[in-house]
Structure 1
Amino acid sequence: MTEATSEAVPADAETSDIRDDGDIAADYLEELLDISDVDGDLDIEVRESRTYISVNSDGESNLSKLADGETVDALQHLTRLAVQAETGEFSRLILDIGGSRDARRGELAGLVDRAITRIEEGASSAALPPMSSYERKIVHDIVSERGYVSESEGEARERHTVIRPAPSA
């Protein structure tokens, strides 16, 4: 059985549209979990005008079979399409299943750390592998926290992040 909860947010027009996205996505995911016979609790949160939906389980659950990165990305894409079909608008919602996004953030932090090590050893820059715009945003944030600069380069599926030392002030 699934359960959806949501965080209280101000009731302005933009937020109510986002909340609608979250409710539509939650309904879609609840149905998908029920059909798949997977137990999970849904949490909806709105941060920086973006809806985040987390699917977690407190006890024994077969949720882990949906928590690998490619599956989460595919389910996020399907959920975005379900929201778009209902609202007629592109959805930017982010789906996390069983903490998979936090795990991926840790992997990305490791990639950034290895790239920074290459720069500290004398490389003028370090390129990371291609990744989604959401993952590149996370990388840019991590790089900035570490005191370096980054930019995205390339097109379409080849778009990737390049890290460089921050210019001297």
Structure 2
Amino acid sequence: MKEKEITVRSKTVEEAIEEALKSLGLAKDQAEIEVLEEPKKALFGMFGGKPASVRVREKKDPIGSTVTYLKAILSKMSVPSTVEVKKKSEREYTFQLSGDKVALAIGKRGQTLNSLQTLINLFANQQSEKIFHIILDAEEYRSRREVALQNLAYRMADKVAKTKKSVKLEPMPSYERKVIHAALQNNEFVKTLSVGEDPYRSIKIELK
């Protein structure tokens, strides 16, 4: 996204800033202001006078830019959605999608949602020196998926305990594997291992 920037000269620094903000359509708190040159009075009111010079640019807003980017992708997918941003910390955010066709943004077992999440994290981290971590959710899919994964973990653990045979689950993204690991970390009969390489890395449940 192209950054808004302008350099303005005027009689005073204040006038130059005001003119620049008006030209860019920004409020003062939305701008980064750099005074390039203070005004100089003309010698004897005739020679050597110089106007003030300021450079004003729009403050970078990586999260706002990422929301715009995400909406553009969803529009091309014919999935117009509302994006609610929830700030968990300076670097952690959740984007919650809602809309009539939002199921299309989730996809089979959340595969489309996971792909979109990867894209927006890459985009956000290209916009800033900070490292952001954005969770993309849709109609509370993530919490429902977490419950489903926990139930899967318990069922497979019981199966391994009864049959004495290990079970390998389907490939999952790292945060879903963490749910399985957490669900069974205190199980007295089985243990969990991550096996394989991304994007095909999966969980193996076996006897202790």
TM-score after normalising by structure 2: 0.55
Q: Identify the structure with the greater helix proportion.
A: 1
Pair 1:116-2:157 in alignment: yes
Which is strand-richer, 1 or 2? 2
Gaps of 5+ in 2: 1-60
Counting only pairs closer than 5 Å after superposition, residues 75-86 of structure 1 correspond to structure 2 as: 75-86=116-127
Instruction: Give the ranges of 4+ consecutive aligned residues of structure 1 lying more than 3 Å apart after TM superposition.
Output: 20-24, 30-37, 47-50, 88-92, 145-149
Instruction: Say whether the 8 Å CA contact 2:83–2:95 is kept in structure 1.
Output: no
Matched, 1:74 2:115: yes
What is the CA-CA distance between 1:157 and the residue it aligns to?
A: 3.1
Alignment of 1:32-111 (within 5 A): 32-33=73-74, 36=78, 38-46=80-88, 50-57=92-99, 61-68=100-107, 69-87=110-128, 91-111=132-152
Alpha-carbon separation, structure 1, partners of 2:105 and 2:194: 29
CA distance 1:89–1:43, shift in 2 (3 Å): closer
Identity %: 24
User: Where do 5+ consecutive residues of structure 1 fail to align?
Assistant: 1-19
Indicate the RMSD between aligned Cα atoms, in angstroms: 3.1
Q: Which residue number corresponds to residue 136 of structure 1? A: 177
Once the two structures are TM-superposed, the CA of residue 33 in structure 1 deviates from its matched residue by 4.5
Which letter does structure 1 place at the counterpart of 2:93? Answer: T
Q: Which has the higher contact order (CA 8 A, sep 6+)?
A: 1
| 1:139 to partner: Cα distance | 1.4
The code of the aligned residue for 1:101 comes to R
AA partner of residue 135 (structure 2):
I
Alpha-carbon separation, structure 2, partners of 1:30 and 1:159 = 30
Q: TM-score when scaled to structure 1?
A: 0.66
- Aligned pair count reads 144
